[in-house]
Amino acid sequence: MNKLMIFGFSIVLFFAIIAIFAPFVATHDPGKIDIENILTGPSKEHVLGTDSLGRDLFSRMVFGTRISLMVGFIAVGIAALIGIALGSIAGYYGKWVDLIIMRFVDIMLCFPTFFLILAVIALLEPSIINIMIIIGITSWMGVARLIRAEILSLKERDFIYAEKAIGASDFRIITRHLIPNAMAPVLVSITLGIAAAILVESSLSFLGIGVQPPTPSWGNILSEGKSVMGAAWWMMLFPGLAIFITVLGYNLLGEGIRERLLKT
Amino acid sequence: MIKYIFRRLIGLIPLLLGITIITFAVIHLAPGKPTDMETQFNPKVSMEARERMMTLYGLDKPIHIQYKDWLIRLLHLDFGISFVDSRPVMKKILERIPVTLGINLASIILILLIGIPIGVSSAVREGGFYDRSMTVFVFVGFAIPTFWLSLILMDLVGVRWGILPVSGIKSLEFEQFGFFEKIFDIARHLVLPVFVSAFGGLAGISRYMRSNMTNVLKQDYIRTARAKGLREKDVIYKHGLKNALLPVVTILGLSVPGLIGGSVIFESIFSIPGMGRLFYESVMTRDYPVIMGVLVIGASLTLLGNLLADVSYAAVDPRIKYE
Protein backbone atom coordinates (compact mmCIF):
# COMPACT_ATOMS: atom_id res chain seq x y z
CA MET A 1 0.00 0.00 0.00
CA ASN A 2 2.89 2.30 0.76
CA LYS A 3 3.96 2.20 -2.88
CA LEU A 4 0.52 3.42 -3.92
CA MET A 5 0.71 6.22 -1.38
CA ILE A 6 4.08 7.38 -2.72
CA PHE A 7 2.64 7.21 -6.22
CA GLY A 8 -0.31 9.32 -5.12
CA PHE A 9 1.94 11.82 -3.37
CA SER A 10 4.11 12.18 -6.50
CA ILE A 11 1.04 12.97 -8.59
CA VAL A 12 -0.14 15.55 -6.06
CA LEU A 13 3.31 17.14 -5.93
CA PHE A 14 3.66 17.11 -9.72
CA PHE A 15 0.42 19.00 -10.31
CA ALA A 16 1.11 21.37 -7.41
CA ILE A 17 4.44 22.34 -9.01
CA ILE A 18 2.75 22.86 -12.38
CA ALA A 19 0.13 25.08 -10.75
CA ILE A 20 2.67 27.17 -8.84
CA PHE A 21 5.01 27.65 -11.78
CA ALA A 22 2.28 27.83 -14.43
CA PRO A 23 3.69 30.91 -16.25
CA PHE A 24 7.06 29.16 -16.65
CA VAL A 25 5.68 25.77 -17.62
CA ALA A 26 3.27 27.05 -20.26
CA THR A 27 4.75 27.28 -23.74
CA HIS A 28 2.26 29.84 -25.05
CA ASP A 29 -0.01 32.58 -23.81
CA PRO A 30 -3.17 30.62 -22.83
CA GLY A 31 -5.45 33.37 -24.10
CA LYS A 32 -3.72 34.06 -27.41
CA ILE A 33 -6.06 33.43 -30.32
CA ASP A 34 -4.52 32.19 -33.55
CA ILE A 35 -7.13 31.75 -36.27
CA GLU A 36 -4.63 30.24 -38.68
CA ASN A 37 -4.14 27.22 -36.42
CA ILE A 38 -7.64 26.21 -35.40
CA LEU A 39 -8.05 22.68 -34.03
CA THR A 40 -4.65 21.42 -35.11
CA GLY A 41 -3.59 18.10 -33.61
CA PRO A 42 -0.60 17.62 -31.31
CA SER A 43 2.59 18.83 -33.01
CA LYS A 44 6.06 20.12 -32.14
CA GLU A 45 4.77 23.67 -31.90
CA HIS A 46 1.61 22.78 -29.94
CA VAL A 47 2.38 19.73 -27.81
CA LEU A 48 -1.26 18.86 -27.12
CA GLY A 49 -2.78 20.60 -30.15
CA THR A 50 -4.94 23.72 -30.31
CA ASP A 51 -8.59 24.49 -29.58
CA SER A 52 -11.31 25.95 -31.77
CA LEU A 53 -9.84 29.45 -31.41
CA GLY A 54 -6.32 28.26 -32.14
CA ARG A 55 -5.23 28.63 -28.52
CA ASP A 56 -2.51 26.27 -27.26
CA LEU A 57 -4.19 23.41 -25.36
CA PHE A 58 -1.15 22.55 -23.26
CA SER A 59 -0.79 26.10 -21.94
CA ARG A 60 -4.51 26.34 -21.25
CA MET A 61 -4.40 23.10 -19.29
CA VAL A 62 -1.39 24.30 -17.31
CA PHE A 63 -3.29 27.40 -16.22
CA GLY A 64 -6.40 25.26 -15.74
CA THR A 65 -4.40 23.25 -13.18
CA ARG A 66 -4.12 26.42 -11.12
CA ILE A 67 -7.86 27.00 -11.17
CA SER A 68 -8.81 23.39 -10.41
CA LEU A 69 -6.37 23.03 -7.52
CA MET A 70 -7.25 26.43 -6.10
CA VAL A 71 -10.95 25.59 -6.11
CA GLY A 72 -10.21 22.21 -4.51
CA PHE A 73 -8.02 23.62 -1.75
CA ILE A 74 -10.07 26.65 -0.82
CA ALA A 75 -13.42 24.83 -0.99
CA VAL A 76 -12.12 22.09 1.27
CA GLY A 77 -10.52 24.71 3.53
CA ILE A 78 -13.91 26.34 4.02
CA ALA A 79 -15.57 22.95 4.58
CA ALA A 80 -12.90 21.99 7.13
CA LEU A 81 -13.29 25.27 9.04
CA ILE A 82 -17.08 24.94 9.29
CA GLY A 83 -16.91 21.23 10.04
CA ILE A 84 -14.23 21.58 12.73
CA ALA A 85 -16.00 24.51 14.39
CA LEU A 86 -19.48 22.96 14.48
CA GLY A 87 -18.23 19.43 15.19
CA SER A 88 -16.07 20.45 18.14
CA ILE A 89 -18.78 22.66 19.64
CA ALA A 90 -21.30 19.82 19.33
CA GLY A 91 -18.92 17.26 20.80
CA TYR A 92 -17.65 19.44 23.65
CA TYR A 93 -20.88 20.98 24.90
CA GLY A 94 -23.16 18.02 24.20
CA LYS A 95 -26.83 18.13 25.24
CA TRP A 96 -29.14 20.41 23.23
CA VAL A 97 -26.26 22.16 21.42
CA ASP A 98 -25.14 18.78 20.14
CA LEU A 99 -28.70 17.79 19.29
CA ILE A 100 -29.36 20.91 17.21
CA ILE A 101 -26.06 20.83 15.35
CA MET A 102 -26.24 17.13 14.57
CA ARG A 103 -29.85 17.43 13.40
CA PHE A 104 -28.68 20.17 11.06
CA VAL A 105 -25.98 17.80 9.79
CA ASP A 106 -28.62 15.10 9.20
CA ILE A 107 -30.79 17.51 7.24
CA MET A 108 -27.90 18.72 5.09
CA LEU A 109 -26.95 15.12 4.37
CA CYS A 110 -30.41 14.41 2.93
CA PHE A 111 -29.95 16.74 0.01
CA PRO A 112 -28.40 15.42 -3.13
CA THR A 113 -25.39 17.77 -2.76
CA PHE A 114 -24.97 18.29 -6.46
CA PHE A 115 -28.57 19.54 -6.76
CA LEU A 116 -28.01 22.05 -3.98
CA ILE A 117 -24.75 23.30 -5.51
CA LEU A 118 -26.32 23.55 -8.95
CA ALA A 119 -29.26 25.56 -7.64
CA VAL A 120 -27.19 28.08 -5.71
CA ILE A 121 -24.54 28.50 -8.41
CA ALA A 122 -27.09 29.10 -11.12
CA LEU A 123 -29.04 31.59 -9.02
CA LEU A 124 -25.93 33.48 -7.99
CA GLU A 125 -23.27 34.34 -10.50
CA PRO A 126 -21.04 31.38 -11.46
CA SER A 127 -17.78 33.06 -10.44
CA ILE A 128 -14.80 31.11 -9.12
CA ILE A 129 -15.22 32.58 -5.64
CA ASN A 130 -18.91 31.60 -5.48
CA ILE A 131 -18.05 28.08 -6.60
CA MET A 132 -15.45 27.68 -3.87
CA ILE A 133 -17.76 29.00 -1.17
CA ILE A 134 -20.70 26.87 -2.22
CA ILE A 135 -18.75 23.64 -2.52
CA GLY A 136 -17.35 24.50 0.92
CA ILE A 137 -20.68 25.06 2.63
CA THR A 138 -22.22 21.91 1.17
CA SER A 139 -19.44 19.49 2.12
CA TRP A 140 -18.50 20.11 5.76
CA MET A 141 -20.81 17.47 7.28
CA GLY A 142 -18.37 14.57 7.15
CA VAL A 143 -15.67 16.56 8.94
CA ALA A 144 -18.14 17.69 11.61
CA ARG A 145 -19.18 14.11 12.36
CA LEU A 146 -15.58 12.88 12.56
CA ILE A 147 -14.41 15.69 14.85
CA ARG A 148 -17.44 15.29 17.12
CA ALA A 149 -16.89 11.56 17.51
CA GLU A 150 -13.23 12.08 18.38
CA ILE A 151 -13.95 14.82 20.88
CA LEU A 152 -16.67 12.80 22.59
CA SER A 153 -14.06 10.26 23.62
CA LEU A 154 -11.20 12.73 24.14
CA LYS A 155 -13.05 14.98 26.56
CA GLU A 156 -13.28 12.21 29.15
CA ARG A 157 -9.50 11.81 29.24
CA ASP A 158 -7.40 12.80 32.24
CA PHE A 159 -5.42 15.54 30.52
CA ILE A 160 -8.63 17.41 29.77
CA TYR A 161 -9.75 17.12 33.40
CA ALA A 162 -6.32 18.44 34.38
CA GLU A 163 -6.77 21.44 32.09
CA LYS A 164 -10.16 22.12 33.59
CA ALA A 165 -8.75 21.82 37.08
CA ILE A 166 -6.17 24.54 36.45
CA GLY A 167 -8.95 26.76 35.14
CA ALA A 168 -8.37 26.76 31.38
CA SER A 169 -11.21 28.32 29.36
CA ASP A 170 -13.45 26.21 27.14
CA PHE A 171 -12.06 27.98 24.09
CA ARG A 172 -8.50 27.12 25.07
CA ILE A 173 -9.36 23.49 25.81
CA ILE A 174 -11.13 23.08 22.49
CA THR A 175 -8.61 24.84 20.27
CA ARG A 176 -5.36 23.88 22.00
CA HIS A 177 -6.06 20.40 23.26
CA LEU A 178 -9.10 18.77 21.71
CA ILE A 179 -8.89 19.79 18.05
CA PRO A 180 -5.16 19.03 17.59
CA ASN A 181 -5.71 15.58 19.05
CA ALA A 182 -8.77 14.93 16.89
CA MET A 183 -7.20 15.98 13.59
CA ALA A 184 -5.96 12.58 12.36
CA PRO A 185 -9.17 11.29 10.75
CA VAL A 186 -9.97 14.80 9.54
CA LEU A 187 -6.71 14.87 7.58
CA VAL A 188 -7.84 11.82 5.60
CA SER A 189 -11.24 13.35 5.01
CA ILE A 190 -9.65 16.61 3.81
CA THR A 191 -7.37 14.85 1.35
CA LEU A 192 -10.26 12.86 -0.13
CA GLY A 193 -12.38 16.03 -0.05
CA ILE A 194 -9.96 17.88 -2.33
CA ALA A 195 -10.40 15.14 -4.93
CA ALA A 196 -14.18 15.36 -4.61
CA ALA A 197 -14.17 19.17 -4.88
CA ILE A 198 -12.04 19.03 -8.04
CA LEU A 199 -14.56 16.60 -9.53
CA VAL A 200 -17.51 18.83 -8.61
CA GLU A 201 -15.84 21.94 -10.05
CA SER A 202 -15.06 20.19 -13.32
CA SER A 203 -18.60 18.79 -13.55
CA LEU A 204 -20.04 22.27 -13.02
CA SER A 205 -17.70 23.84 -15.56
CA PHE A 206 -18.55 21.05 -17.95
CA LEU A 207 -22.26 21.83 -17.60
CA GLY A 208 -21.42 25.48 -18.34
CA ILE A 209 -22.21 26.85 -14.88
CA GLY A 210 -18.77 26.60 -13.34
CA VAL A 211 -15.64 28.55 -14.20
CA GLN A 212 -16.57 30.77 -17.13
CA PRO A 213 -14.51 31.06 -20.32
CA PRO A 214 -12.11 32.57 -21.27
CA THR A 215 -10.61 31.55 -17.89
CA PRO A 216 -9.42 28.01 -18.59
CA SER A 217 -10.43 25.15 -16.29
CA TRP A 218 -10.22 21.44 -17.06
CA GLY A 219 -13.99 21.20 -16.97
CA ASN A 220 -14.75 24.02 -19.40
CA ILE A 221 -12.05 22.87 -21.84
CA LEU A 222 -13.81 19.48 -21.83
CA SER A 223 -17.13 21.19 -22.35
CA GLU A 224 -15.71 22.79 -25.48
CA GLY A 225 -14.18 19.44 -26.38
CA LYS A 226 -17.65 17.91 -26.39
CA SER A 227 -18.80 20.17 -29.20
CA VAL A 228 -15.81 19.31 -31.38
CA MET A 229 -15.79 15.65 -30.30
CA GLY A 230 -15.59 14.10 -33.77
CA ALA A 231 -13.02 16.54 -35.13
CA ALA A 232 -10.54 16.98 -32.29
CA TRP A 233 -9.99 13.99 -29.98
CA TRP A 234 -7.21 15.79 -28.10
CA MET A 235 -9.65 18.37 -26.76
CA MET A 236 -11.52 15.60 -24.97
CA LEU A 237 -8.77 13.19 -24.04
CA PHE A 238 -6.18 15.40 -22.31
CA PRO A 239 -8.29 17.49 -19.91
CA GLY A 240 -10.20 14.35 -18.87
CA LEU A 241 -6.95 12.54 -18.21
CA ALA A 242 -5.70 15.48 -16.13
CA ILE A 243 -8.81 15.41 -13.91
CA PHE A 244 -8.66 11.64 -13.65
CA ILE A 245 -4.97 11.50 -12.68
CA THR A 246 -5.23 14.35 -10.16
CA VAL A 247 -8.27 12.86 -8.45
CA LEU A 248 -6.56 9.47 -8.41
CA GLY A 249 -3.50 11.07 -6.79
CA TYR A 250 -5.43 12.66 -3.94
CA ASN A 251 -7.48 9.50 -3.38
CA LEU A 252 -4.37 7.32 -3.18
CA LEU A 253 -2.69 9.78 -0.83
CA GLY A 254 -5.78 9.93 1.39
CA GLU A 255 -6.13 6.15 1.57
CA GLY A 256 -2.41 5.86 2.29
CA ILE A 257 -2.66 8.29 5.20
CA ARG A 258 -5.69 6.38 6.50
CA GLU A 259 -3.85 3.05 6.52
CA ARG A 260 -0.87 4.61 8.27
CA LEU A 261 -2.97 6.21 10.98
CA LEU A 262 -4.99 3.07 11.58
CA LYS A 263 -1.92 0.90 11.97
CA THR A 264 -0.04 3.04 14.49
CA MET B 1 -41.48 -3.67 14.92
CA ILE B 2 -44.52 -1.64 13.91
CA LYS B 3 -43.91 0.56 16.92
CA TYR B 4 -40.31 1.09 15.78
CA ILE B 5 -41.36 2.08 12.25
CA PHE B 6 -43.98 4.42 13.66
CA ARG B 7 -41.46 6.10 15.94
CA ARG B 8 -39.03 6.50 13.05
CA LEU B 9 -41.77 8.07 10.93
CA ILE B 10 -42.49 10.62 13.68
CA GLY B 11 -38.77 11.35 13.83
CA LEU B 12 -38.84 12.25 10.15
CA ILE B 13 -41.09 15.26 10.70
CA PRO B 14 -38.46 17.70 12.03
CA LEU B 15 -36.07 16.56 9.31
CA LEU B 16 -38.66 17.18 6.60
CA LEU B 17 -39.37 20.60 8.06
CA GLY B 18 -35.65 21.35 8.02
CA ILE B 19 -35.45 20.29 4.40
CA THR B 20 -38.21 22.70 3.40
CA ILE B 21 -36.61 25.58 5.33
CA ILE B 22 -33.21 25.09 3.70
CA THR B 23 -34.77 24.73 0.25
CA PHE B 24 -36.82 27.86 0.73
CA ALA B 25 -33.86 29.83 2.05
CA VAL B 26 -31.59 28.76 -0.80
CA ILE B 27 -34.00 29.87 -3.48
CA HIS B 28 -34.99 33.13 -1.87
CA LEU B 29 -31.61 34.38 -0.74
CA ALA B 30 -30.41 34.46 -4.32
CA PRO B 31 -30.59 37.81 -6.05
CA GLY B 32 -32.78 38.23 -9.12
CA LYS B 33 -36.49 37.62 -9.47
CA PRO B 34 -38.17 34.92 -11.49
CA THR B 35 -40.18 37.57 -13.29
CA ASP B 36 -36.93 39.09 -14.60
CA MET B 37 -36.67 36.39 -17.20
CA GLU B 38 -39.96 37.27 -18.80
CA THR B 39 -39.97 41.01 -18.36
CA GLN B 40 -36.50 42.48 -18.01
CA PHE B 41 -35.46 42.32 -21.63
CA ASN B 42 -38.86 43.06 -23.00
CA PRO B 43 -39.55 46.80 -23.31
CA LYS B 44 -43.20 46.15 -24.11
CA VAL B 45 -43.87 44.96 -20.56
CA SER B 46 -44.92 47.82 -18.33
CA MET B 47 -44.14 48.19 -14.63
CA GLU B 48 -47.78 47.55 -13.97
CA ALA B 49 -47.75 44.22 -15.80
CA ARG B 50 -44.63 43.22 -13.92
CA GLU B 51 -46.29 43.94 -10.60
CA ARG B 52 -49.34 41.94 -11.61
CA MET B 53 -47.06 39.01 -12.30
CA MET B 54 -45.39 39.44 -8.91
CA THR B 55 -48.76 39.36 -7.19
CA LEU B 56 -49.84 36.34 -9.19
CA TYR B 57 -46.82 34.36 -8.00
CA GLY B 58 -47.06 35.74 -4.47
CA LEU B 59 -43.58 37.25 -4.66
CA ASP B 60 -44.67 40.61 -3.26
CA LYS B 61 -45.54 39.24 0.17
CA PRO B 62 -43.10 39.19 3.12
CA ILE B 63 -40.83 36.17 3.04
CA HIS B 64 -42.21 34.34 6.10
CA ILE B 65 -45.75 34.58 4.70
CA GLN B 66 -44.49 33.17 1.41
CA TYR B 67 -42.91 30.29 3.29
CA LYS B 68 -46.04 29.63 5.31
CA ASP B 69 -48.25 29.65 2.21
CA TRP B 70 -45.85 27.37 0.40
CA LEU B 71 -45.65 24.95 3.33
CA ILE B 72 -49.43 24.74 3.66
CA ARG B 73 -49.75 24.00 -0.04
CA LEU B 74 -46.96 21.44 0.33
CA LEU B 75 -49.03 19.59 2.92
CA HIS B 76 -51.70 19.17 0.25
CA LEU B 77 -48.97 17.87 -2.08
CA ASP B 78 -49.45 21.02 -4.15
CA PHE B 79 -46.04 22.21 -5.31
CA GLY B 80 -47.40 25.13 -7.26
CA ILE B 81 -47.32 25.87 -10.94
CA SER B 82 -44.27 26.01 -13.17
CA PHE B 83 -43.26 29.53 -14.23
CA VAL B 84 -42.16 28.25 -17.60
CA ASP B 85 -45.14 26.32 -18.98
CA SER B 86 -47.82 26.85 -16.31
CA ARG B 87 -48.21 23.15 -15.65
CA PRO B 88 -48.47 21.79 -12.09
CA VAL B 89 -45.00 21.11 -10.66
CA MET B 90 -46.12 17.85 -9.07
CA LYS B 91 -47.21 16.54 -12.48
CA LYS B 92 -43.95 17.58 -14.12
CA ILE B 93 -41.92 15.84 -11.44
CA LEU B 94 -44.08 12.70 -11.36
CA GLU B 95 -43.59 12.32 -15.11
CA ARG B 96 -39.84 12.37 -14.68
CA ILE B 97 -39.41 10.27 -11.53
CA PRO B 98 -39.97 6.82 -13.10
CA VAL B 99 -37.16 7.38 -15.61
CA THR B 100 -34.61 8.48 -13.00
CA LEU B 101 -35.71 5.91 -10.44
CA GLY B 102 -35.68 3.17 -13.07
CA ILE B 103 -32.15 3.96 -14.20
CA ASN B 104 -30.93 4.23 -10.62
CA LEU B 105 -32.60 0.96 -9.61
CA ALA B 106 -31.06 -0.81 -12.61
CA SER B 107 -27.66 0.56 -11.74
CA ILE B 108 -28.02 -0.38 -8.05
CA ILE B 109 -28.86 -3.95 -9.09
CA LEU B 110 -25.88 -3.99 -11.44
CA ILE B 111 -23.64 -2.61 -8.70
CA LEU B 112 -24.75 -5.31 -6.24
CA LEU B 113 -24.51 -8.12 -8.80
CA ILE B 114 -20.95 -7.21 -9.75
CA GLY B 115 -19.63 -5.36 -6.70
CA ILE B 116 -20.40 -7.97 -4.04
CA PRO B 117 -18.69 -10.90 -5.83
CA ILE B 118 -15.65 -8.70 -6.54
CA GLY B 119 -15.45 -7.63 -2.90
CA VAL B 120 -15.85 -11.15 -1.55
CA SER B 121 -13.35 -12.74 -3.92
CA SER B 122 -10.81 -9.98 -3.18
CA ALA B 123 -11.20 -10.52 0.55
CA VAL B 124 -10.72 -14.27 0.21
CA ARG B 125 -7.52 -13.70 -1.75
CA GLU B 126 -6.35 -10.77 0.39
CA GLY B 127 -3.00 -9.43 -0.77
CA GLY B 128 -2.83 -11.64 -3.84
CA PHE B 129 -2.52 -10.61 -7.47
CA TYR B 130 -6.30 -10.63 -8.04
CA ASP B 131 -6.91 -8.52 -4.94
CA ARG B 132 -4.27 -6.01 -5.96
CA SER B 133 -5.59 -5.66 -9.52
CA MET B 134 -9.10 -5.17 -8.14
CA THR B 135 -7.76 -2.43 -5.83
CA VAL B 136 -6.33 -0.65 -8.88
CA PHE B 137 -9.68 -1.05 -10.66
CA VAL B 138 -11.48 0.41 -7.66
CA PHE B 139 -9.26 3.48 -7.53
CA VAL B 140 -9.75 4.01 -11.25
CA GLY B 141 -13.51 3.77 -10.74
CA PHE B 142 -13.39 6.35 -7.95
CA ALA B 143 -11.32 8.83 -9.90
CA ILE B 144 -12.83 8.73 -13.37
CA PRO B 145 -15.14 11.72 -13.95
CA THR B 146 -18.63 10.51 -14.92
CA PHE B 147 -19.08 13.07 -17.66
CA TRP B 148 -15.75 12.19 -19.22
CA LEU B 149 -16.54 8.47 -19.20
CA SER B 150 -19.93 9.25 -20.76
CA LEU B 151 -18.33 11.31 -23.51
CA ILE B 152 -15.74 8.67 -24.33
CA LEU B 153 -18.34 5.89 -24.45
CA MET B 154 -20.63 8.07 -26.53
CA ASP B 155 -17.85 8.76 -29.00
CA LEU B 156 -16.60 5.17 -29.22
CA VAL B 157 -19.68 2.99 -28.85
CA GLY B 158 -22.24 5.38 -30.26
CA VAL B 159 -20.54 7.43 -32.94
CA ARG B 160 -17.46 5.53 -34.12
CA TRP B 161 -18.75 1.95 -33.84
CA GLY B 162 -22.44 2.81 -34.08
CA ILE B 163 -23.49 -0.07 -31.78
CA LEU B 164 -25.78 1.79 -29.39
CA PRO B 165 -27.92 4.93 -29.53
CA VAL B 166 -26.50 7.83 -27.54
CA SER B 167 -29.43 10.12 -26.89
CA GLY B 168 -32.93 9.95 -25.45
CA ILE B 169 -34.70 6.82 -24.23
CA LYS B 170 -36.53 5.79 -27.38
CA SER B 171 -36.08 5.87 -31.14
CA LEU B 172 -37.99 8.16 -33.49
CA GLU B 173 -39.97 5.23 -34.89
CA PHE B 174 -40.88 4.06 -31.37
CA GLU B 175 -44.65 4.30 -31.86
CA GLN B 176 -44.63 1.86 -34.79
CA PHE B 177 -42.82 -0.86 -32.83
CA GLY B 178 -44.48 -3.96 -31.40
CA PHE B 179 -44.47 -4.59 -27.65
CA PHE B 180 -41.20 -6.53 -27.45
CA GLU B 181 -39.49 -4.21 -29.90
CA LYS B 182 -40.45 -1.29 -27.66
CA ILE B 183 -38.89 -2.91 -24.61
CA PHE B 184 -35.79 -3.81 -26.57
CA ASP B 185 -35.56 -0.28 -27.90
CA ILE B 186 -35.70 1.31 -24.45
CA ALA B 187 -33.22 -1.22 -23.10
CA ARG B 188 -30.78 -0.40 -25.89
CA HIS B 189 -31.03 3.29 -25.09
CA LEU B 190 -30.45 2.70 -21.40
CA VAL B 191 -27.34 0.51 -21.64
CA LEU B 192 -24.83 3.38 -21.64
CA PRO B 193 -26.52 5.57 -18.98
CA VAL B 194 -26.95 2.64 -16.59
CA PHE B 195 -23.37 1.53 -17.14
CA VAL B 196 -22.03 5.03 -16.53
CA SER B 197 -24.06 5.58 -13.39
CA ALA B 198 -23.11 2.15 -12.03
CA PHE B 199 -19.40 2.51 -12.70
CA GLY B 200 -18.53 4.86 -9.83
CA GLY B 201 -20.79 3.14 -7.30
CA LEU B 202 -19.37 -0.24 -8.25
CA ALA B 203 -15.97 0.82 -6.96
CA GLY B 204 -17.45 1.99 -3.66
CA ILE B 205 -19.51 -1.12 -2.94
CA SER B 206 -16.81 -3.61 -3.87
CA ARG B 207 -14.28 -1.77 -1.71
CA TYR B 208 -16.72 -1.67 1.16
CA MET B 209 -17.64 -5.32 0.73
CA ARG B 210 -13.97 -6.26 0.68
CA SER B 211 -13.20 -4.54 3.98
CA ASN B 212 -16.33 -6.01 5.63
CA MET B 213 -15.45 -9.47 4.46
CA THR B 214 -11.80 -9.28 5.54
CA ASN B 215 -12.98 -8.21 9.00
CA VAL B 216 -15.55 -10.98 9.22
CA LEU B 217 -13.06 -13.63 8.11
CA LYS B 218 -10.86 -12.73 11.09
CA GLN B 219 -13.66 -13.39 13.61
CA ASP B 220 -13.66 -16.24 16.08
CA TYR B 221 -16.79 -17.85 14.67
CA ILE B 222 -15.07 -18.27 11.31
CA ARG B 223 -12.18 -20.02 13.01
CA THR B 224 -14.68 -22.20 14.85
CA ALA B 225 -16.43 -23.03 11.60
CA ARG B 226 -13.12 -24.02 10.05
CA ALA B 227 -12.09 -25.96 13.16
CA LYS B 228 -15.19 -28.09 13.10
CA GLY B 229 -14.22 -29.14 9.60
CA LEU B 230 -16.70 -27.30 7.41
CA ARG B 231 -15.84 -27.03 3.77
CA GLU B 232 -14.13 -23.72 2.90
CA LYS B 233 -17.03 -22.90 0.56
CA ASP B 234 -19.54 -23.16 3.40
CA VAL B 235 -17.32 -21.18 5.75
CA ILE B 236 -17.10 -18.31 3.30
CA TYR B 237 -20.61 -18.24 1.87
CA LYS B 238 -22.73 -19.44 4.79
CA HIS B 239 -20.89 -18.00 7.76
CA GLY B 240 -18.85 -15.19 6.26
CA LEU B 241 -20.95 -13.66 3.51
CA LYS B 242 -24.15 -13.49 5.52
CA ASN B 243 -22.50 -11.39 8.20
CA ALA B 244 -20.55 -9.23 5.79
CA LEU B 245 -23.63 -8.43 3.71
CA LEU B 246 -25.58 -6.72 6.50
CA PRO B 247 -23.86 -3.31 6.56
CA VAL B 248 -24.19 -3.07 2.76
CA VAL B 249 -27.89 -2.36 3.34
CA THR B 250 -27.02 0.82 5.22
CA ILE B 251 -24.52 1.92 2.59
CA LEU B 252 -27.16 1.50 -0.10
CA GLY B 253 -29.47 3.80 1.83
CA LEU B 254 -26.71 6.37 2.19
CA SER B 255 -25.85 6.27 -1.50
CA VAL B 256 -29.30 7.46 -2.62
CA PRO B 257 -28.51 11.21 -2.63
CA GLY B 258 -25.30 10.61 -4.57
CA LEU B 259 -27.13 8.61 -7.21
CA ILE B 260 -29.89 11.18 -7.58
CA GLY B 261 -27.36 14.03 -7.70
CA GLY B 262 -25.29 12.22 -10.30
CA SER B 263 -28.32 11.87 -12.54
CA VAL B 264 -28.04 15.56 -13.51
CA ILE B 265 -24.79 14.86 -15.32
CA PHE B 266 -25.56 11.74 -17.29
CA GLU B 267 -29.16 12.73 -18.00
CA SER B 268 -28.06 15.99 -19.57
CA ILE B 269 -25.28 14.27 -21.55
CA PHE B 270 -27.49 11.48 -22.88
CA SER B 271 -30.57 13.77 -23.14
CA ILE B 272 -32.66 11.53 -20.92
CA PRO B 273 -35.95 13.09 -19.78
CA GLY B 274 -35.49 12.37 -16.08
CA MET B 275 -35.51 14.35 -12.85
CA GLY B 276 -31.88 15.43 -13.19
CA ARG B 277 -32.47 17.05 -16.54
CA LEU B 278 -35.71 18.63 -15.37
CA PHE B 279 -33.74 20.15 -12.50
CA TYR B 280 -30.97 21.39 -14.78
CA GLU B 281 -33.49 22.97 -17.14
CA SER B 282 -35.45 24.64 -14.35
CA VAL B 283 -32.26 25.97 -12.76
CA MET B 284 -31.33 27.49 -16.09
CA THR B 285 -34.73 29.18 -16.46
CA ARG B 286 -35.05 30.04 -12.75
CA ASP B 287 -38.26 28.08 -12.52
CA TYR B 288 -38.44 28.45 -8.72
CA PRO B 289 -41.43 26.18 -8.00
CA VAL B 290 -39.87 23.30 -9.93
CA ILE B 291 -36.44 23.82 -8.33
CA MET B 292 -38.01 23.77 -4.87
CA GLY B 293 -40.17 20.80 -5.73
CA VAL B 294 -37.26 18.71 -6.99
CA LEU B 295 -35.08 19.65 -4.00
CA VAL B 296 -37.80 18.72 -1.51
CA ILE B 297 -38.70 15.49 -3.28
CA GLY B 298 -35.05 14.52 -3.83
CA ALA B 299 -34.26 15.01 -0.15
CA SER B 300 -37.43 13.19 0.94
CA LEU B 301 -36.51 10.23 -1.27
CA THR B 302 -33.19 10.11 0.59
CA LEU B 303 -34.97 10.12 3.94
CA LEU B 304 -37.18 7.32 2.73
CA GLY B 305 -34.17 5.38 1.44
CA ASN B 306 -32.44 5.67 4.81
CA LEU B 307 -35.57 4.64 6.68
CA LEU B 308 -36.04 1.60 4.43
CA ALA B 309 -32.40 0.67 4.96
CA ASP B 310 -32.67 0.96 8.75
CA VAL B 311 -35.93 -0.95 8.94
CA SER B 312 -34.73 -3.79 6.76
CA TYR B 313 -31.47 -3.89 8.71
CA ALA B 314 -33.43 -4.23 11.93
CA ALA B 315 -35.59 -6.90 10.31
CA VAL B 316 -32.67 -9.07 9.13
CA ASP B 317 -30.28 -8.66 12.01
CA PRO B 318 -31.57 -10.37 15.16
CA ARG B 319 -28.91 -8.62 17.26
CA ILE B 320 -30.60 -5.26 16.77
CA LYS B 321 -33.29 -4.45 19.28
CA TYR B 322 -35.65 -1.76 18.14
CA GLU B 323 -37.39 -1.02 21.38
Contact yes or no for A248 and B142 at CB 8 A:
yes
Alpha helices, DSSP H only, in A94-178?
95-110, 113-123, 128-137, 141-154, 158-165, 170-172
Q: What is the mean pLDDT of chain B?
A: 80
Q: Which residues of A touch B159 (CB under 8 A)?
A: 229-230
Of the partner residues A116, A207, A226, the one whose CB lies closest to the CB of residue B26:
A116
| Interchain CB contact of B143 with A (< 8 Å) | yes
Of the partner residues A207, A230, A248, the one whose CB lies closest to the CB of residue B268:
A207
Preceding amide of A185 cis, omega within 30: no
Q: What pLDDT was estimated at residue B44? A: 56
Q: Which residue of A has its CA nearest to B290?
A: A119
| Interchain CB contact of A9 with B (< 8 Å) | no
Tell me the per-residue pLDDT of A222-233, one tens digit each, with 9 for 90 and over.
888 887 777 777
Q: Which residues of B touch A243 (CB under 8 A)?
A: 145, 148
Total CB pairs under 8 A between chain A and B: 130
Weakest-pLDDT range from A45-49, A105-109, B1-5, B11-15: A45-49
Q: Confidence class of residue B215 from pLDDT cuts 50, 70 and 90?
A: confident
The residue with greater pLDDT, B149 or A31, is B149
Contact yes or no for B19 and A107 at CB 8 A:
yes
Q: Please, which residues have CB within 8 angstroms of residue B198's CB and are 6 or more apart in sequence? A: B106, B107, B108, B110, B111, B114
Of the partner residues A120, A206, A248, the one whose CB lies closest to the CB of residue B30:
A120
Residue type, A91: G
- In whole angstroms, what is the distance from residue B76 CA to residue B234 CA? 53
| Interchain CB contact of B168 with A (< 8 Å) | no
Nearest Cα neighbor of A216 from A143, A147, A128, A142 is: A128
Global pTM reads 0.85
Q: Is the pLDDT of residue B120 over 70?
A: yes
- B281 contacts B294 by C-beta, under 8 angstroms: no
Q: Which residue of B has its CA nearest to A229?
A: B155
- B200 contacts B108 by C-beta, under 8 angstroms: no
**3-class DSSP state of A5:** helix
Contact yes or no for B283 and A203 at CB 8 A:
no
Tell me the per-residue pLDDT of B20-61, one tens digit each, with 9 for 90 and over.
888 888 777 666 555 555 555 555 556 666 666 666 666 667
Q: How far is B114 from chain A (nearest CA, A)?
A: 22
Nearest Cα neighbor of A28 from A67, A66, A63, A74 is: A63
- In whole angstroms, what is the distance from residue A76 CA to residue A135 CA? 8
- Measured from the Cβ of residue A159, the count of other Cβ atoms closer than 10 Å reads 11
Q: Is the pLDDT of residue B300 over 60?
A: yes
- In whole angstroms, what is the distance from residue B195 CA to residue A204 CA? 21
Q: Please, which residues have CB within 8 angstroms of residue B306's CB and are 6 or more apart in sequence? A: B253, B254, B256
- In whole angstroms, what is the distance from residue A82 CA to residue A140 CA? 6
Q: At what angle do helices B146-153 and A179-206 cross, to 10 degrees?
A: 30
Tell me the per-residue pLDDT of A29-78, one tens digit each, with 9 for 90 and over.
777 777 777 767 777 777 777 777 778 888 888 888 988 999 999 999 99
Q: How far is B40 from chain A (nearest CA, A)?
A: 16
